[in-house]
Structure 1
Amino acid sequence: MIIVTGATGQLGRRIVDSLLTRVPAQRIGVSVRDPHKAQPLADRGVRVRQGGFGEPASLAHAFEGATQVLVVSVDKLGEEAVRQHRAAIDAAVAAGARRVLYTSHMGAAPTSHFQACRDHAATEEALRACGVPYTALRNGFYAASALQFLGSGPETGEIVLPADGPVSWTAHDDLADAAAAVLADEGRFDGPTPPLTAAEALTFDDIAALTGALTGRAVKRITVPDGRFAEQMMGHGVPAETADHLLGIFAAARADEFAAVDRTLATLIGRAPRTLEEVLRERLSADRASAERR
């Protein structure tokens, strides 16, 4: 049985949806913190069991009968993130899984400027030491994050952010399809994959120009010092730790940690990955439709 963790989250839910088009539902199980939220999957024949990385004892039941376990990374940082990932890896091995897979990140390295990438590197080290074959899916940076940073820029005509560098912004749906393809073809990758990215890397200068072209109005990219950006975020109630984490993304981008572009994702999903332009156009269309309903 293929077990997918975090199956009610943004990525995990899409992975299970894609996996259901490739393998029978009875071969799929999910481990979720709240089984009620996964009822739609149960209705489709997927085995749903409660399991949380923060409660390692719960994972033995959740992972029972596993042949492969996909550990979807948690939304924690630092030692707590790595501790929870290790708990899930250990539970997968104890359950007898032949392979453990993990949603890692492009640029994963102990020296990364981005805390999450340092956490991914530490988790990959735990995978290497776990004693069974593993696959680390080195996902490109989520395109949804670019839209979050863009914020109200399309309406205000300004994108106010720290200096950045090129980033291979990649759609959740494409990464989910890639994970499902790898799960359905066990052993396709041993160890870390190449970066799973869209076909281009864009800076926020590029995104400002793209936004202007799509909206028909000028959008200006304004660069602010890291410290001022952090102060602005904290002034809006963002915790200092979160502000520092977000600044790490820009520092890593300036160091070209997310600039790689690779064809592996396109090969896995059998089509060209979605571009940021497509993702942004969809977001702008949804915003217009919402405004018209108000």
Structure 2
Amino acid sequence: MGLIAVTGATGHVGGRVARGLAAAGVPQRLVVRDPSRAPDLDGADVRAAAYGDGEALRHALDGTEVLLLVSAAEDAHRLDQHRTVVEAAAAAGVRRVVYTSFLGAAPDCTFTFARDHAATEAMLTAARFGTTFLRDSFYLDVLPGFVTDGALRGPAGSGRVGAVARADVAEVALAALLDDTHTGRSYDLTGPRALTLAEVAETLTAVGGRPVTYVEETVEEAYASRAGSGAPSWLVDGWVSTYTAIANGELDVVTDVVETVTGHPARTLEDVLRGR
């Protein structure tokens, strides 16, 4: 097996993958912006590179054959950042890329941030890498962060979302990095059940011990309630479309991919909240 490069190793998904590779005794290179924050792992060397720095990325990826590309944080220039990584990986001779995409990514999907994922998938395909696309639903882990003043507020209606645990995404990514039979595949990664936000609120209440309610907003109310944040319009569009994508049914998807690939059932919201 060629040397594996891991981006996002200081984050939740990339960090779990890096620890999994170390536990398996697999040599890896951690590509991080700040080496002082990189995990100290056996068999791992660290190189500094930001997604927008093509020269540093090419140096960091030199000699690697497989790349875990954890998508950049939402940013007005995220697609340009991804393009820089793709070009650097091609120049460095990377053969295979595992990319954390998004469920239902398409140029016209409702969730505006997912449109960058569709464009990135197209770039990776055009560059002729062997690819594995991990099309994750929303993360179960971040749902508690949607709560403000004891309420989940948004225009999701009674739509459902098959949100997935970051730990499960990391385990599937690890499997894809270690086994090239996953090359050429696109995996829709979800939890075991599609939940309404009212059901999410009920679970947060039951496990967390503090009451959480779901407050349905209209689209107009959602924009108005976020108008004072000072966030740019593209970011507010992403926030609101988080909910409208659920309302439209685009995320009412449940698959068995996590169990098929990892050998264990996908984690539930309760599992995540209890740290399982």
Q: Common fold, TM-score beyond 0.5?
A: yes
Task: Calculate the aligned-residue CA RMSD, in Å.
Answer: 2.1
1:128 alignment partner in structure 2: 125
**What is the alpha-carbon distance in structure 2 between the residues aligned to residue 225 and residue 66 of structure 1?**
49
Aligned residues: 273
Post-superposition offset of 1:236? 4.3
Name the one with the larger helix percent. Answer: 1
Please name the residue that 1:72 is paired with. 70
**Further displaced range: 273-282 or 61-70:** 273-282
% of aligned pairs identical? 37
Aligned to 1:178: 172
Q: 2: CA distance between counterparts of 1:212 and 1:84?
A: 39
In the aligned structure 2, how far is the partner of 1:36 from the partner of 1:17?
17
Q: Relative to structure 1, is the Cα distance of residues 68 and 282 closer, same or farther in structure 2, using a 3 angstrom cutoff?
A: closer
> Of the candidates 3, 6, 31, which is equivalent to residue 5 of structure 2?
3
3-state SS, counterpart of residue 221 of structure 1: strand
Structure 1 counterpart of 2:89: 92
Amino acid in the other structure paired with 1:14: R
Matched, 1:34 2:34: yes
1: distance between equivalents of 2:75 and 2:161?
Answer: 21
Once residues 200 and 84 of structure 1 are traced to their aligned partners in structure 2, the CA distance between those partners, rounded to angstroms, is 34
Q: Report what 2:17 is aligned to.
A: 15
Aligned to 1:292: none
Tell me the secondary structure at the aligned position of residue 137 of structure 1: strand
Say whether the 8 Å CA contact 1:89–1:100 is kept in structure 2.
Answer: no
Could you tell me how far 1:184 is from its partner in structure 2? 0.8
Residues 45 and 110 of structure 1, relative CA distance in 2, 3 Å threshold:
same
Q: Which runs of 5+ in 1 are unaligned?
A: 284-294
1:230 aligns with 2:245: no
**What is the aligned partner in structure 2 of residue 112 from structure 1?**
109
**How far apart are residue 246 of structure 1 and its match?**
0.5
Q: Secondary structure at the match of 2:253?
A: coil
Of stretches 120-129 and 86-95 in structure 1, the one that deviates more from structure 2 is 86-95
Cα displacement (A) at 1:180: 0.7
Q: TM-score, normalised by structure 1?
A: 0.85
Deviation at 1:215? 5.5
| 1:258 and 2:260 matched | no
What runs of 5+ residues in structure 2 fail to find an aligned partner?
none
TM superposition shift of 1:239: 4.2
2 CA distance for matches of 1:22 and 1:187?
18
1:147 has 2:144 as partner = yes
* Corresponding residue number in structure 2 for 1:81: 78
Alpha-carbon deviation of 1:281? 4.2
